[in-house]
Chain A
Amino acid sequence: QYVLTQPPSASGSPGQSVTISCTGTSSDIGSYNYVSWYQQHPGKAPRAIIYDVTQRPSGVPSRFSGSRSGNTASLIVSGLQPEDEADYYCSSYAGSSIVFGGGTKLTVL
């Protein structure tokens, strides 16, 4: 099982905004500024879209943003595009480990 809790699915129409949550504890998300989000298309390697809670790697569109409140981190995808349909995973540093969520399948309707 996975330490971080994500909803198994999310959906939205093109142009809409979608938020994916990632709930941890005070031992991981709540304690460290090292939450990351990864996008994975079928058969492809993961791609980082957010790191250090709010930072976007070079080349990631600005419609992807991250936030955190307490023990819950969120990925916000604004202005959904068809190519955003993918699996999304959150992760957090936890001091003596790195923990992942089970993933959220985002469907663009």
Chain B
Amino acid sequence: EVVLEESGGRPVRPGESLRLSCAGSGFAFEQYGMSWVRQRPGKGLEWVSSTNWNAGTTIHAGPVKGRFTISRDNGKRLLFLQMNNLRVEDTASYYCAREALGRGAFRGSLTHWGLGTMVTVSS
């Protein structure tokens, strides 16, 4: 069974940093592209970042570019999201998600999701 478990979310002040982690199990972690998607309270889904199988290719959404960095440790089966200079508008539940197929790349075909971790940015 594919399981994704996010951790690291907590309340922080504007300008602070936070690193989210996502542990994957039940599949060949190193063969799959992975993504982070967030959802602000009461709002829709918003794509944040994606990585291919070895983090050789990563992309980030405009609102987080230059502040957030996606990375992964295939040996430990972990996906990360380093979040710097956090803003109030980054307050959201952050989900990690796995691509449908082990084709190595990311294509936004996110068939497996974690339960999410909440990040609250407030002064």
Contacts and interface: CB of A to CB of B under 8 A. Distances in A.
Interface of A: 2, 32, 34, 36, 38, 40, 45-48, 51-52, 55, 57, 87, 89, 91-93, 96-103
B47 A100 contact: yes
Listed from nearest, the 10 A-B pairs whose CB atoms lie closest are: A98-B108, A51-B109, A98-B47, A93-B108, A103-B44, A48-B111, A34-B107, A57-B111, A51-B100, A93-B107
Contacts of A57: 100, 111
Contacts of A46: 37, 45, 95, 97, 110, 113
A62 to B, nearest CB: 16
Contact of B45 (A51, A52, A96, A100): A100
Contacts of A52: 100, 107, 109
Nearest to A102: B44
A91 to B, nearest CB: 6
A34 B109 contact: yes
Contacts of B108: 34, 36, 91-93, 98
Contacts of B89: none
Contacts of A92: 108
Interface of A is mostly: strand
A34 B99 CA distance: 11
B44 A97 contact: no
Contacts of A32: 107
B16 to A, nearest CB: 26
A46 B97 CA distance: 10
Given A45-B116, A97-B59, A97-B61, A91 B45 contact: yes
Given A92-B108, A93-B108, A96-B59, A47 B45 contact: no
A8 B59 CA distance: 29
A56 B120 CA distance: 34
Given A51-B100, A57-B100, A100 B111 contact: no
Contacts of B47: 91, 97-100
B113 A103 contact: no
B115 A45 contact: yes
A101 B47 CA distance: 11
Contacts of A97: 47, 59, 61
